[in-house]
């Protein structure tokens, strides 16, 4: 789409667009280019010079069992976060949609967690599940369950998944609630007249009508679980135990800043760049489809 009516001149528009271009150039394109460049080198042990290794960093990464494990961890983690944040959200949205009165009040209460930063959410969940003082851990102990996410890999994963999904439930709820309100009531009524009960109507009519929202939320939640959950993992597990919760973004940080392995970290950045690119394409393909909805 283009404007028919435009203003003349080229200096003014260039000046107007300059701030964004300069900032994108300095803090986006240059670092991204630098990541690609650094991924082709390894620094010597003293950090004095760089040695060109071509795709060596990538080859090394892809044969590194820890990196492969991190890929798998990320896949498991984002699948779980997406499910745990979307299913309860849909359920709550369906409930809220049934109510004429009070839906607004519930919505206000449910929005809260969205505003809580992932890192703060991490601290809240850490507090409840802390092995020494956490109230949930204590009650689990009463029931005879020896909760210890510091040692148990599955428990650690479960905890970071729940802490990461918590705030996302609010987010997904808002989108599902809005989508449910947009479902034409005539369709539902027609089905009701034909004798379809609530859950049957839900699965055969409402859920298919929600599919554009569902696809959209799938992509957005996967992106979220890939990148924005760093705070949760850093506050709760620090990637442990035995790297069981080291997702890809966490590994870029751990190798680049803690391990000071710049070449490997840069190569990982490049791989992540590709992953993000793929997800962006997916999202845009989907957004185009959404227009027809």
Partner 1 sequence: MARTSNPVKEPPAGMVEKRGRGLWFTHVLMILGVLVIFFPIWLAFVASTVPQAAITHPPMPLLPGDQFLTNYKRALFSGVNVPVATMLLNSLVMAMGIAVGKIAISILSAFAIVYFRFPGRNFFFWLIFITLMLPVEVRIVPTYQVIAGFGMLNSYSGLILPLIASATATFLFRQFFLTVPDELAEAARVDGARPMRFFVDILLPMSRTNIAALFVILFIYGWNQYLWPLLITTDPSMNTVVMGIKQMFPSGDDIADWPVIMATSILAMIPPVIVVISMQKLFIRGLVDSEK
Are 177 and 107 within 8 A, CB to CB?
Answer: yes
Using CB under 8 A, which of the segments 68-76, 79-87, 116-124, 143-151 binds partner 1? Answer: 116-124
How many residues bind partner 1 (CB under 8 A)? The answer is 109
Residue at token pair 């992106």: 223
Are 230 and 251 within 8 A, CB to CB?
Answer: no
CA distance 69 to 194: 52
User: Which of 82, 237, 253, 254 touches partner 1 by CB under 8 A?
Assistant: 253
DSSP structure class, residue 91: H
Residue 9 binds to partner 1 (criterion: CB under 8 A)? yes
Using CB under 8 A, which of the segments 57-65, 70-78, 129-137, 147-155 binds partner 1? Answer: 129-137
Residue 225 binds to partner 1 (criterion: CB under 8 A)? no
Residue ranges of alpha helices (H) inside 116-194 are: 118-129, 135-142, 153-182, 185-193
Residue 88 Cβ vs partner 1, minimum distance, rounded to whole Å = 7
Helical pair 262-290 and 30-38, crossing angle rounded to 10 deg = 130
Residue 140 binds to partner 1 (criterion: CB under 8 A)? no
> What's the maximum distance between 2 C-alpha atoms anywhere in the chain?
78
User: Which of 57, 70, 225, 235 touches partner 1 by CB under 8 A?
Assistant: 235
Residue 143 binds to partner 1 (criterion: CB under 8 A)? no
Q: Which of residues 160-219 bind partner 1 (CB under 8 A)?
A: 166, 169-171, 174-175, 178, 185, 188-189, 192-198, 201, 216
Residue 91 Cβ vs partner 1, minimum distance, rounded to whole Å = 8
Residue 269 binds to partner 1 (criterion: CB under 8 A)? yes
Closer to partner 1 by Cβ: residue 127 or 145: 127
- Best CA proximity match to 249, nearest among 131, 155, 136, 118: 118
CA distance 285 to 287: 6
- Best CA proximity match to 268, nearest among 5, 64, 107, 125: 64
Residue 54 Cβ vs partner 1, minimum distance, rounded to whole Å = 19
User: Which of 80, 110, 159, 161 touches partner 1 by CB under 8 A?
Assistant: 110
Q: Which helix (H) or strand (E) holds 43?
A: strand 41-43
Residue 228 Cβ vs partner 1, minimum distance, rounded to whole Å = 8
Name residue 52's beta-bridge partners.
Answer: 41
Residue 95 binds to partner 1 (criterion: CB under 8 A)? yes
CA distance 157 to 154: 5
Q: Which of residues 36-65 bind partner 1 (CB under 8 A)?
A: 38
Q: Give 212: exposed, middle or buried? Use CB within 10 Å, 0-12, 13-18, 19+.
A: middle
Using CB under 8 A, which of the segments 13-21, 51-59, 67-75, 76-84 binds partner 1? Answer: 13-21
Residue 139 Cβ vs partner 1, minimum distance, rounded to whole Å = 7
């Amino acid at each position: 789409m283009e404007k028919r009516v435009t203003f003349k001149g080229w200096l003014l528009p260039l000046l107007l667009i300059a701030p964004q271009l300069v900032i994108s150039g300095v803090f986006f394109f240059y670092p991204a280019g630098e990541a690609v460049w650094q991924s082709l080198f390894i620094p010597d042990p003293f950090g004095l010079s760089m040695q060109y290794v071509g795709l060596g960093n990538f080859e090394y990464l892809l044969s590194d069992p820890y990196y492969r494990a991190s890929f798998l961890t990320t896949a498991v983690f984002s699948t779980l976060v997406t499910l745990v944040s979307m299913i309860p959200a849909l359920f709550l949205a369906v409930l809220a949609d049934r109510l004429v009165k009070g839906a607004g009040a519930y919505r206000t209460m449910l929005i809260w967690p969205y505003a809580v930063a992932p890192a703060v959410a991490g601290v809240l969940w850490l507090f409840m599940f802390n092995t020494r003082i956490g109230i949930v851990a204590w009650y689990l102990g009463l029931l005879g369950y020896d909760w210890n996410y510091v040692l148990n890999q599955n428990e650690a994963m479960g905890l970071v998944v729940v802490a990461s999904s918590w705030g996302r439930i609010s987010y997904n709820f808002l989108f599902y609630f809005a989508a449910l309100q947009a479902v034409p009531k005539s369709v539902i009524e027609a089905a009701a007249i034909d004798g379809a009960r609530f859950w049957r109507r839900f699965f055969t009519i409402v859920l298919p009508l929600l599919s554009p929202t569902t696809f959209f939320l799938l992509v957005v939640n996967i992106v979220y679980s890939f990148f924005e959950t760093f705070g949760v993992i850093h506050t709760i597990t620090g990637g442990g135990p035995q790297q069981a919760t080291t997702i890809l973004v966490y590994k870029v940080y751990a190798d680049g800043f803690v391990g000071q392995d710049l070449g490997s970290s840069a190569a990982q950045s490049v791989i992540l760049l590709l992953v993000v690119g793929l997800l962006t394409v997916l999202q845009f393909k989907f957004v185009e489809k959404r227009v027809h909805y």
